[in-house]
Amino acid sequence: MYKIVKKRQLNPTVTMMDIYAPLVAKKAQAGQFIILRADDDGERIPLTVAGYDRINGTVKIIFQVVGDSTMSLNDKKEGEYISDFVGPLGKPTETEGIRKVCIVGGGVGCAIALPVAQRFKELGAEVHSIIGFRNKDLVILEDEFRACSDRLTLMTDDGSYGTKGVVTAPLKEAIESGEKYDMVIAIGPLVMMKFVVATTKPYNVPTTVSMNPIMIDGTGMCGGCRLTVGGKTKFACVDGPDFNGFEVDFDEAMLRSTMYSDFERHEREEHCNLFKKEAE
């Protein structure tokens, strides 16, 4: 059992937790992920390591409440326990030789992008961060990004905070103004990462994307997280989650990501109905 040491709501749909898991905290690196189960009969949930404290033995996770399993996790309070917490899994983000990087995060993907930006800053790289949200109410981790970025640009779709527009607009502007990035790293919704790649590719700016497909065991044996990268089948849990964005088949990945949307909607509705009955 793994204790929830701290819990905080970042916005109406996104929650942050610090979990006491000293063995995971000891080895975790930026870009890796864990798989947890909220309860003994719960679904396996893959979540990126959003931070870690090796001294206190805690691992930070940030998740969006979107279905039955994340709703069950979100129901838990500080001091309570989750059943399983396995990791670190996947490969850490490559940092060697990168002196100037642009981190592009979208929505809850900023939770994944933040530790990557922090790691580059620790290594002495120049960090430019572009983060985007639908509106002001959904903004998360602004102060944390500001602390580890030499330049921070915050975008909202509706212009209610920061600059109105999409994340690719300031990225393209920076490249065309002469910024020479060793790497652009995009983390967020699939469609966002697809358009980031479409923005950087004409300028041949190396671009890494962090993929989060359907995942079950985290070892590559189930095959659920398969992607087509460079015309070959790859498994996000063991070959990634970071991949060369120029080589990812985003259309296929987006199609696969919707395979269980009807089932997920049904499970969410069942959870809400059960919670309502218990409250009554």
CATH number at residue 151: 3.40.50.80
For residues 72 and 99, state if they share a domain: no
Flag whether the pTM goes above 0.85: no
Decide if 260 is inside a domain.
no
70-102: per-residue pLDDT in tens?
888 999 999 999 999 998 998 999 898 999 999
198-216: per-residue pLDDT in tens?
999 999 999 999 988 676 7
Q: How many residues can be counted in the chain?
A: 280
For residues 73 and 163, state if they share a domain: no
For residues 36 and 122, state if they share a domain: no
Strands (DSSP E) contained in the chain are 2-11, 14-20, 33-37, 45-48, 51-53, 58-64, 81-82, 84-89, 100-106, 126-133, 151-156, 163-164, 183-187, 207-210, 226-229, 232-235, 242-244
Contact 1, 131 (CB under 8 A): no
Is residue 265 over pLDDT 60? no
Which of 89, 124, 156 terminates a domain? The answer is: 89
Is residue 258 over pLDDT 70? no
Query: Residue 16 is part of which domain span?
Result: 2-89
The tally of domains found in the chain comes to 2
